[in-house]
A and B are shown apart, each in its own frame.
Chain A
Amino acid sequence: MITFEGVTKRYPDGTVAVDDLSLKAPTGAITVFVGPSGCGKTTSLRMINRMIDATSGRILLDDQDVRAIDPPTLRRGIGYVIQQAGLFPHRKIVDNVATVPYLLGWDKKKARARAMELLELVGLDSKLAGRYPFQLSGGQQQRVGVARALAADPPVLLMDEPFSAVDPIVRASLQDELLHLQSELHKTIVFVTHDIDEAIKLGDTVAVLRVGGRLAQMADPATLLSEPADDFVREFLGKDRGIRRLSFVPATGVRLGSAPTDLEVDEDTRPLGWRSNGGLLPYGTFNPERDSLRAALDAALLSPNGTAIAVDGDGRVIGVATRDALDEALTRQGTSPGERVSEPDREVPASDTRRAES
């Protein structure tokens, strides 16, 4: 747990970057600081690992005031990921990842073995280990940045706009990757972004900051979308709050009917399309165990007959949800904050389970 107690950062010229900030970033969860530029989100993050020292107030890491710990020692126990990755250009990827283990005095062999393990964990080919940073794409460099931050298995991870310098497609995959990693590692993560969609996608808790470094609202994403505290937050959240909130409502409760006869399937009962005179028409699917109500609704909109096809994890048809069934589900969830939809389970490299030994 990271606790901010009345933290203020005032610069000598009188600028107040962070104003009396009090909040808690819970253990094992992702807390996102989001806000427009000048809202003090990065300053707040950097005060945790003492890259910047607060003017007044306290920041506690578990129960210890960070000001009581010598900065390099403090930082070696906290993973740090920055926007431009900041990889050491003269070192090979494997040695970049092993930076903190080397600092902690691990022997080279052990540190490198750990680094290889992490490269695999963040989805990088082991071939890249011997390359230099300039030989990697931006997305790959950012993955290396994450691997480096995790190398010594710190309980806390600070991420300062780590994905904002890569293109949208790579960004989305890095975000998915992070959620996936987090479902395995359960780190206490503080994540800074100016992108509200990223905040909502990644945050267990989202702290919206306003210019001048004041906390505007702190809540889970679904609550934030349904009950913004004031006009600033409402405006910052942007359009389509209602639809976006459905991403946080699981589709498990949607009533399923049996598949109608005009649904064409293959021998494994995977859908092929809706039969019609002119051939097969397009369709949309959702997985009730895994997807959100938003995905179910989307699937219905993709089918010309307005019926969403429910499939299991292998893509086999398990039923259909009609417009009426979806309508019921929408009515039922009303305005109550939905339960968080868990991320899809994927194959996890076995190496991760060994990290506790290091």
Chain B
Amino acid sequence: MNWLIDFFGAAANWSGPDGIPARILEHLEFSAAAFLIAAVIAVPLGLLIGHTGRGALLIVVSANAARALPTLGLLVLVVLLIGVGTVLPVLIPLVVLAIPPILVNTYEGVRGVDADLRDAAYGMGLRGGQVLFRVLTPSALPLILLGLRLSAIQVVSTASVAAFVGLGGLGRFIIDGLATKTYSDVIGGAVLIALLALAVQLAFTVLDRVVVSPGVRQVR
């Protein structure tokens, strides 16, 4: 508890480029960039594979790779390959980490839509694209959002690795705190990351309320 008071109570921690607000902002920047890139790749891919049924192998591979791949190891590898100095070494592993939950859940969401529903949609005279966007996607939305949420939380929690390669973000408090044995910083940084993850969770809960049709939300 004292450590938390030390960390959050120190006026110096609240201003300047090393301060909490600046670090949070940096952290969110990496996370948001990685998350958005992943979403832009994985959502359309998941929809397409789910709708056509082609390329389902990719989903399986991706899901397994996600479990096997060590983020930190990948980070080091990318740094070795392209060096430090840009945000790229952090973005690549984070994007790789963020894609599978979105891809797998989007795919499962679309795949899992009742066969009768597809049948009815085609039978009414909807074209393939209309079936995908007007029927399958809205029905799969709860799962798609679940994937996005899991992914966002993972990215926010893992973005602290940026500090390993000299970049900012909340990881700085942890890495630097460990190096200088300033445990209040380590604990404080960890708490901030946890709070950020909770905030992401909350944001998605709100988003869910707003964008998912009540007709679909109740079913699940």
Contact = CB atoms under 8 A, between A and B. Distances in A.
A74 B124 CA distance: 9
Chain A CB count within 10 A is highest, among B119, B123, B124, for B124
Contacts of A86: 114, 116-117, 119-121, 123
B124 A92 contact: no
Contacts, number: 79
Contacts of A71: 122, 125
Contacts of B127: 72
Contacts of A74: 125
B126 A103 contact: yes
A76 B124 contact: yes
Contacts of B123: 49, 51, 75, 80, 82, 86
Contacts of B218: 132, 134-135
Interface in A81-140: 82-92, 99-100, 103, 132-135
A90 B125 contact: no
Contacts of B73: none
A73 interface: yes
Interface residues of B, number: 24
Nearest to B138: A90
A210 interface: no
A132 B213 contact: yes
Nearest to A87: B120
A80 B139 contact: no
Given A86-B117, A88-B135, A90-B139, A75 B215 contact: no
A25 B120 CA distance: 23
Contact of B124 (A80, A83, A134): A80
A134 B122 contact: no
B203 to A, nearest CB: 22
A148 interface: yes
B219 A134 contact: yes
Contacts of A145: 120
B41 interface: no
A74 B122 CA distance: 11
Given A80-B124, A89-B215, 15 more contacts: A75-B122, A75-B123, A76-B125, A82-B116, A83-B116, A85-B120, A86-B116, A86-B120, A87-B120, A89-B216, A90-B138, A132-B214, A132-B215, A132-B218, A135-B218
Closest 9 CB pairs of A and B: A86-B120, A132-B215, A76-B125, A90-B213, A75-B125, A80-B123, A90-B138, A84-B116, A86-B116
20 contacts: A51-B119, A51-B123, A74-B125, A75-B123, A76-B124, A85-B120, A86-B121, A87-B120, A88-B120, A88-B121, A88-B138, A89-B117, A89-B139, A89-B213, A89-B216, A90-B213, A90-B215, A90-B216, A91-B215, A133-B215
